[in-house]
Amino acid sequence: MPRAKRSIQSTTTIDDFSLVWNLHREQQWFTADGWKGVAIHVKVAVGVRRELFLEFPPVITKNIDALRDAPPRVPVTAAMVEAGIREAIAAGWDPGSRGQPCFYQVGESQD
């Protein structure tokens, strides 16, 4: 039986935008894509603006078997989420714009 999703939510202010973020998805196994890491949903606290989904890389340990073992719970910290938000902004996400949600893979664009 799958474990219940944690209830993690916080607020932060970045570049004069008051943002609210919460846990969207725990790390899990997808048949087509394999392991996917923790996903965080970020939105502007007031008003309807463009949302962001931060997808962190999965944490894989040697003892994870996709069919039997539950993946480790990845610690989600405010500093980790804020760094991901800043990375997404640097990559082009504008929290003040309108439009469809932006999906950003954290750590993917670091060259």
**Radius of gyration (Cα) for the chain, nearest Å?**
15
- The model's pTM: 0.82
Q: What pLDDT was estimated at residue 110? A: 43
**pLDDT: is 4 or 88 the higher one?**
88
**pLDDT: is 62 or 96 the higher one?**
96
Q: Do 57 and 107 touch, CB atoms closer than 8 A?
A: yes
Q: What pLDDT was estimated at residue 75? A: 86
Min mean pLDDT across 10-14, 20-24, 69-73, 79-83 is at: 69-73
> Does the residue 38 lie in any domain?
yes
9-50: per-residue pLDDT in tens? 999 999 899 999 999 988 887 888 888 889 999 999 988 899
> Does the residue 70 lie in any domain?
yes
How far from 35 is each of 15, 46, 47, 99, 100, CA to CA, in Å? 33, 34, 34, 28, 25
> Does the residue 2 lie in any domain?
no
* Average pLDDT score over the chain: 85
Parent domain of 84: 9-105
Phi, psi of 85 (to 5 degrees): -65, -45
Number of domains in the chain: 1
> Does the residue 101 lie in any domain?
yes
Is residue 13 within a helix (H) or strand (E), and if so which, with residue range? strand 9-14
pLDDT class of 52 with cuts at 50, 70, 90 = very high
